[in-house]
Amino acid sequence: MLTPVPAISIQGVGKTFNPDSDGRIVALDGIDLDVDAQEFVSLIGPSGCGKSTLLRLIADLVTPTAGIVEVFGKPAHQARLDRDYGMVFQSAGLFSWRKVARNIELPLELMGWSKADREARSAEMLELVQLPEFGNHYPWQLSGGMQQRVAIARALSFKPRLLLMDEPFGALDEMTREHMQNELLELVAEVGTTVVFVTHSVSEATFLSDRVVVLSPRPGRIQEIIDVPLGDHRTEETREDEAYFKCATEVREALRRVGASS
């Protein structure tokens, strides 16, 4: 068998916005990062450090000004066209004019699935995110946490091998947030996806990730990569675990070293 291709391979990537004008912003510089299949990696750093930009580079929603981004061994652009990843944003971004089930079916519709297949899959996904009875509701009838679960179901509906998440729980209260984190881990374990997760919360990054990538303030560079060896089965108890605190402290100190106020 060949050496397994990493899920994501980023080599010497930089991104400069408005390169030719006075408003020139070097968002990212000299980023090298590999993410293995089924790995959970968080990007953390002070605001404006370019962590969201890095995620968008992987998603090919932003084009790098230097370096190469590969997803599953192909250029990010091709991976996007092949629909190799699902994406979740801070705002659930559900289409208010579509019922919940039809929101989940959106990517399937674009992929030309038949109606019956779409409906079967959305029902399955609603079950998975534990909202089986809400398929026929409109998004405004759901709470923020429920809407975000629908957004996750939509991102996973076509079973992509990669999930890109941009502060997906940022707008939720602490209780709902921890709840969603537990669920996300269960879901990811069940589906077996690779996850890249942008956050500014130390506890969130530590609880969720196999590795936490700490970025420096602008221009964003990778400052440190911290392993979080808390095992594959993390529960509520993990949050009170000595090892968890140790890892969280490590992340927090790394952030402090790069001069982040958080």
Residues that bind another protein (CB under 8 A): 56, 59, 61, 80-83, 85-87, 89-91, 93, 95-99, 106-107, 110-111, 130-131, 134, 137-138, 140-143, 145-146, 164, 175-176, 179, 183
Q: How far is the CB of 140 from another protein (least distance, A)?
A: 5
Q: How far is the CB of 55 from another protein (least distance, A)?
A: 11
CB 135 within 8 A of CB 122: yes
Of 38 and 130, which CB lies nearer to another protein in the complex structure? 130
Q: How far is the CB of 146 from another protein (least distance, A)?
A: 6
Of 10 and 76, which CB lies nearer to another protein in the complex structure? 76
Q: How far is the CB of 93 from another protein (least distance, A)?
A: 4
Of 24 and 83, which CB lies nearer to another protein in the complex structure? 83
Q: How far is the CB of 115 from another protein (least distance, A)?
A: 16
Q: How far is the CB of 142 from another protein (least distance, A)?
A: 6
Measured between alpha carbons, how far is residue 261 from residues 140, 252, 254 in Å? 35, 10, 12
Of 143 and 262, which CB lies nearer to another protein in the complex structure? 143
- Which residues fall within 8 angstroms of residue 154, CB to CB, at 6 or more apart? 86, 94, 103, 104, 106, 107, 125
Residue 195's region, left for phi above 0, alpha for psi from -120 to 50, else beta, is beta
Of 59 and 212, which CB lies nearer to another protein in the complex structure? 59
Strand runs labelled E in 155-193:
162-166
Of 56 and 252, which CB lies nearer to another protein in the complex structure? 56
Of 2 and 175, which CB lies nearer to another protein in the complex structure? 175
Measured between alpha carbons, how far is residue 256 from residues 108, 217, 239 in Å? 43, 11, 21
Rounded Cα–Cα distance for residues 26 and 14 (Å)? 8
Q: How far is the CB of 36 from another protein (least distance, A)?
A: 22
Burial track 45-71 (b if 16+ CB lie within 10 A, e otherwise):
bbeebbbbbbbbbbbbebebeebebbb
- Which residues fall within 8 angstroms of residue 185, CB to CB, at 6 or more apart? 40, 208, 234
Rounded Cα–Cα distance for residues 39 and 4 (Å)? 13
Rounded Cα–Cα distance for residues 50 and 27 (Å)? 5
